Amino acid sequence: DAKTTQPNSMESNEEEPVHLPCNHSTISGTDYIHWYRQLPSQGPEYVIHGLTSNVNNRMASLAIAEDRKSSTLILHRATLRDAAVYYCILRGLPINDYKLSFGAGTTVTVRA
């Protein structure tokens, strides 16, 4: 499985943007980039995913580098509720039933 590398932790102030980087230099052409987050004492929840183009949804934006070897999750205005561990995952191939294998993730702290 292709691996991802993320910083261990990031801090942000409330209502400021947060840019979370993810390196995936061994990504293959068919790997989708998925982001999940896990709030304290909860199961992970989906944030966003993409293949080549940048993506936006109500939670965040995903910027994917042209060579696809890295991506950045952008939280436009952090709130206290955004404090969580954020995981960047390369979704596996159909032959592997699209398995989701989590890396270490980035712990995001939001200061009031």
Partner 1 sequence: DTEVTQTPKHLVMGMTNKKSLKCEQHMGHRAMYWYKQKAKKPPELMFVYSYEKLSINESVPSRFSPECPNSSLLNLHLHALQPEDSALYLCASRNRAKNTEAFFGQGTRLTVV
Positions that interact with partner 1 (CB under 8 A): 32, 34, 36, 42-46, 49, 85, 87, 91, 96-105
Closest CA to 85 of 7, 2, 3: 7
User: What is the closest distance, in whole angstroms, from the C-beta atom of residue 70 to partner 1 in the complex?
Assistant: 20
Residue with tokens 């954020």: 86
Name which of 24 and 91 has its Cβ closer to partner 1: 91
Single-letter code of the amino acid located at 4: T
- Shortest reach from residue 80's CB to partner 1, in Å: 20
Residues 61-65: contacts with CB under 8 Å, at least 24 apart: 62/33, 62/35, 64/33
Q: Which is nearer to partner 1, 16 or 100 (CB)?
A: 100
* Dist. CA 88–CA 95, nearest whole Å: 21
Q: What is the nearest approach in angstroms of partner 1 to the Cβ of residue 49?
A: 7
In the complex with partner 1, which residue's Cβ is closer, 21 or 92?
92
